[in-house]
Amino acid sequence: MIKELAQDSILEFQKTVGLLFRKDLVFALICGSLARGEGNKHSDADMLIAVNKVNDRLLERFREWYLTFHLKLGLVPDSTYLGEVVLIDSLDQALAAAKKHIPVRVIDKEQIYDGIVWAGMLVGETIGFVGDMKAYNKYRNEAEIICQKWRQSLLTSESPSLRQEVALKNIITYQP
């Protein structure tokens, strides 16, 4: 099983995402275990793709490529999140919601959960970047502030069990 993506797979990601989303692409990247070189037999290629607009036909084309990309590499695609194609307005709103609700252990709003997940994707190790680096850096800096405040508020909690959960990286639960 691959631990990290080969350069030709990274180039395929960059080329395909660039061609599919064209002028509406703000930025895209691969993150998660493969970006960190820690992939295993359960890994998928986590992707965050921020766009100005998207339509159903384009999303379907992306999903087809996403599944093919995983099959070619012998990876199991994420059945819940087939690559995170995110409208830039939704990213703005979700990060603002996450920032506003620091700290919360049980999250009852999808927007807050998305904001935390996307913030984590933005601050983690990344490969295969394509798009507007200035825009990406703006979102990454905002995400770093959010993640730092979440960690700080959870680590300074008076609850020993919460501090232990944070140490184990099991810090949030989504319950709609």
Asked whether residue 35 is assigned to any structural domain, the reply reads yes
What is the Rg, in whole angstroms, of the alpha carbon atoms belonging to the chain? 17
- State the pLDDT at residue 173: 41
- State the pLDDT at residue 129: 94
Query: What tokens appear for 152 in the block?
Result: 């700080």
Tally of domains in the chain: 1
The more confident residue out of 160 and 44 is 44
Asked whether residue 2 is assigned to any structural domain, the reply reads no
Cis bond leading into 77, ω under 30°? Answer: no
Residue 128 contacts residue 13 (beta carbons within 8 Å): yes
Asked whether residue 60 is assigned to any structural domain, the reply reads yes
Asked whether residue 145 is assigned to any structural domain, the reply reads yes
Query: Could you read off the pLDDT of 59-94 as tens digits, one per residue?
Result: 999 999 999 998 888 888 887 777 789 999 999 999
Asked whether residue 17 is assigned to any structural domain, the reply reads yes
Asked whether residue 1 is assigned to any structural domain, the reply reads no
Instruction: Quote the domain boundaries for residue 50.
Output: 7-174
The more confident residue out of 176 and 66 is 66
Percent over 70 (pLDDT), the chain = 80
Asked whether residue 63 is assigned to any structural domain, the reply reads yes
Of the listed ranges 43-47, 66-70, 81-85, 153-157, the one predicted with least confidence:
153-157
Q: Check the CA dihedral 137-143-149-152 and report its sign.
A: negative
Residue 22 contacts residue 29 (beta carbons within 8 Å): no
pTM of the model: 0.81
Asked whether residue 156 is assigned to any structural domain, the reply reads yes
- State the pLDDT at residue 171: 47
